[in-house]
Amino acid sequence: MPELPEVETIRRSLKTLEGRHIVRLDFSSLAPVETTQPRHIRRALADHPILRLERRGKYLLIRSAQGGALVIHLGMSGRLTFFDPPPKKFENHTHLILRFEDGSALAYQDARRFGTLSLTESADGTDNPFLQRLGPDYIDPLLTEEQFIARCRRHPGLNLKALTLNQGIASGLGNIYACEALYRASLDPRRKVRRSKNSELASLLEAARQSLELGIKHGGSSLRDYFDGLGNRGVMKDFLQVYDREGQPTLDGRGTVKRIVQQARSTFFCPEVQR
């Protein structure tokens, strides 16, 4: 479900968590398949305040004043919601509840359980297997064109759609913003990296940045499941050029949107614009 703009919006909406003292962590018996042992997570977080929230690609980090951080991936259906006061009974599929000293709570909910809950004890996350394989953030200003192109060139056989979805090359794009970025760069998602010029890869980086920043500006795309940490919707859906518009004109009216399947996922694109 959530891509970089959605996770960033959630992060910003949960600024209220900073300084809140965690007194208890309640895990469900059906936590996501990839969950670090609850007792390890408890040991790292319980009885200490939250220092701040960080983001790496689509991962959200809840950093404890103790130094370590809970590393959350929301998968397809994950949701984080702050409650003050919390309800007596939480919604179905709530797998973790952080309870704070003042009675408020943060709930992690994930029906499909594709998400992950893990830990890092280091500042840079290099001790965490998920963060370890992550490439630089697309919106990290320290990521240069040259570096991005070099990282792309390691995968000459990938088509451009698969390239954009690969979090090891650069991180943060998911299916929505991958389609949007390729449209913005006027690049055909079926084209191979080896058939692409350096200037085209550079324009893909720039297009990805603009697509993601626009998503952040509009609070993310609420298509079905996504809400920020306070339960608010994002309006980016109204600004999407091609995603979920099969058979309709692109938002800017430059052509008609087609849907194809790549890597077993829908790609929305406009053949008249993208070559």
- Which residues would be at the binding site for DNA (CB under 7 A)? 1-3, 6, 33, 57-58, 73, 75-77, 92-93, 111-114, 130, 133, 155-159, 162, 165, 167, 174-176, 220-226, 263-266
Max CA separation in the chain (angstroms): 58
Written as one letter, the residue type at 184 is R
**Least distance in angstroms from the C-beta of 68 to DNA:** 20
**Least distance in angstroms from the C-beta of 162 to DNA:** 5
Question: Are the C-beta atoms of residues 221 and 10 closer than 8 Å to each other?
Answer: no
Peptide bond into 85 cis (omega under 30): yes
Q: Is 69 or 163 the residue whose CB approaches DNA more closely? A: 163
Question: Are the C-beta atoms of residues 38 and 116 closer than 8 Å to each other?
Answer: no
**Least distance in angstroms from the C-beta of 215 to DNA:** 10
Q: Is 29 or 141 the residue whose CB approaches DNA more closely? A: 29
Q: Is 82 or 243 the residue whose CB approaches DNA more closely? A: 243
Radius of gyration of the chain, Cα coordinates, nearest whole angstrom: 19
Residue at token pair 């009974």: 89
Q: Is 75 or 125 the residue whose CB approaches DNA more closely? A: 75
Q: What is the 3-state secondary structure (H, E, C) of 139-190?
A: CCCCCCHHHHHHHHHCCCCCEHHHHHHCCCCCECCCHHHHHHHHHHCCCCCC
Q: Is 18 or 37 the residue whose CB approaches DNA more closely? A: 37
**Least distance in angstroms from the C-beta of 129 to DNA:** 8
**Least distance in angstroms from the C-beta of 56 to DNA:** 10
Q: Is 66 or 262 the residue whose CB approaches DNA more closely? A: 262
Q: Determine how β-strand 105-110 pairs with β-strand 34-35.
A: unpaired
**Least distance in angstroms from the C-beta of 250 to DNA:** 17
Name the residues annotated as catalytic: 2-3, 58, 265
